[in-house]
Amino acid sequence: MRIALIGNRDLENGEHNNDVVNYYQVCYQLAKMGVTMTSGLAAKGCDAIAQRAYGKAIALKEGKANIDSLEVYVAQQKNINKSDLPYKEYSIIMPSDQEATNKRREILKSVLDYNHYQALTMLKNNYALGMHERNVHQILGKDLQSPIDLVLTWCKPGHSGTRTAINIADANSIPVINFYKGQEQFNIALTQLNCFLNSFNYPSIQIL
């Protein structure tokens, strides 16, 4: 099973500490189950929390946690170089050939409104566009033909790279579970997640 563990960086801005703890525990238990995570090598937020949780589980050899459970995408090598996350060296640099680039951008055009897409392409610094392109792989895999099974996120309303990924998931009928925000929503989301896991004969996640 492959689950995208992605979301807004605001999760770690200091206002949502309980959500951070809850998300980490969920990610850690998914790692122990041997579930593959897809994400980006973000400095903070859901992606970083997931990588730290998986990194600890792998280092401690917990359950079925292993290096092969990491499917982490970056736009360029420099994203790896500047990261301090565990096992960053196993990150996947998205393909840079013209065919893959064109395909990613066609997918982005299909899920972004025209003005948003044009704004991204007109920026002098292509960092933002690169992050959106990277997120296409989080949902559809390196070859853009291997969709994940589920998106597990903490995502606020509005435009963001995570919202783009969610739109791609929706377009491909991939379920999305959002932990945003607070304990009540987390409890609802956890119930949804456990139902999903149980349907694939995985055990339920228990949060202490």
DSSP the chain: -EEEEEE-GGGGSSS-HHHHHHHHHHHHHHHHHTPEEEEE--SSSHHHHHHHHHHHHHHTT-TT--GGGEEEEESSHHHHHT--STTGGG-EEPP-SHHHHHHHHHHHHHHS-HHHHHHHHH-SSTHHHHHHHHHHHHHH-TTS----SEEEEE--SSS-HHHHHHHHHHHTT--EEE--SHHHHHHHHHHHHHHHHHHTTPPPP---
Angle at 51 between CA 45 and CA 55, to 5 degrees: 145
- Mean of the pLDDT values across residues 72-80? 93
Of the given ranges (30-39, 111-120, 171-180, 181-190), which has the lowest mean pLDDT?
Answer: 111-120
Which pLDDT value is given to residue 128? 74
User: 180: how many CB neighbours lie within 10 A of its CB?
Assistant: 19
Which pLDDT value is given to residue 6? 95
- Mean of the pLDDT values across residues 157-173? 86
- Mean of the pLDDT values across residues 57-85? 95
Using 50, 70 and 90 to split pLDDT, how confident is the model at 124?
Answer: low
For 20, the token pair is 């951070």
Model confidence at 158: pLDDT above 80: no
Which pLDDT value is given to residue 123? 65
Fill in the amino acid letter for 143. Answer: D
Express as a percent the part of the chain with pLDDT over 90. Answer: 72
The model's pTM: 0.92
Using 50, 70 and 90 to split pLDDT, how confident is the model at 31?
Answer: very high
Which pLDDT value is given to residue 117? 67
Model confidence at 15: pLDDT above 80: yes
Higher-confidence residue: 30 or 12?
Answer: 30
Using 50, 70 and 90 to split pLDDT, how confident is the model at 159?
Answer: low
How much is the mean pLDDT over the chain? 91
Higher-confidence residue: 117 or 80?
Answer: 80
Cα-based torsion angle of the residue sequence 34, 132, 172, 102 in order, rounded to the nearest 10 degrees: -120
Model confidence at 20: pLDDT above 90: yes
